[in-house]
Amino acid sequence: MFARPSDIGYDETIHCKEGKATSILSGGVEYTVEEELFVSDSVKGRATKCWRASTGEGDDYREEVVIKDSWADVRRTRSEIETLTVIKENGLCDGYGIPELVHGEDVLVCGVSGSKRVYVVDSTARWRVRDESGGEERVHRRIVMKPVGRHITNFKSLKELVGAFMDIIKGSSISVDIISYEYANNHLFSTRRFMHQGGTA
């Protein structure tokens, strides 16, 4: 009755209406959700969700971003945020079809320490009892990236499709020393910007 929504597992940084996210807070910025892009349907995994979102309201300039939420395994040696940071610092985003990191964070939730309310990292360790082997621990991680592209299956012409694969090959080849990319069908997006007529912008 007097508990916060986060005490029973709700994410207070996401506002919903009729079961759909309408706004998401990340890095002190509130983003308006425009479209749900991807929802993982696996029974066990990272429970990844992706949205197309924007800043600004009404006639204001609206910058579009992709927001990715997932529950990452803490045993991984390098996080996706660290990888995208290295790529950005080396200037490998522009012109290579690689997303640019806008903001990355481990989501904080309101918890309890003694009699005080404190903000702690949202993690499965808050709810699970770990065994002697250490078990699996996952942390709630949020990444904001740009630019926004259409799903690769929504190409409007053969030129767009071929161009998208050229971006993927170019992007992966220049990043091979930084990270090994795993391209799954659900994560392929074209970041090329095309005019409605099908030509490059």
- Mean predicted confidence (pLDDT) in 76-86: 84
pLDDT at residue number 2: 63
Q: What is the pLDDT of residue 78?
A: 79
Helix (H, G, I), strand (E, B) or coil at 174: helix
Specify the pTM. 0.70
Task: Give, in order, the Cα–Cα distances in Å from 192 to each of 2, 64, 145.
Answer: 49, 14, 15
pLDDT at 177: 45
* Beta carbons of 183 and 175 less than 8 angstroms apart: no
- Chain segment 87-130, per-residue pLDDT in tens: 888 887 776 667 889 999 999 887 666 667 777 778 877 776 66
| Average pLDDT value over all residues in the chain | 75
Separation CA 97–CA 78 (nearest Å): 22
Residue 92 or residue 12, greater confidence: 12
119/3: higher pLDDT: 119
Residues 6+ apart with CB under 8 A from 18: none
How many Å apart are CA 74 and CA 107, to the nearest integer? 14
> Would you list the domain boundaries of the chain?
5-148, 151-201
Percentage of the chain lying above the pLDDT 90 cut: 19
In angstroms, the CA 137 to CA 123 distance is 7
In tens, the pLDDT along 143-184 reads 999 888 777 777 788 888 888 788 777 766 655 444 443 333
DSSP H or E stretch at residue 83: helix 80-89
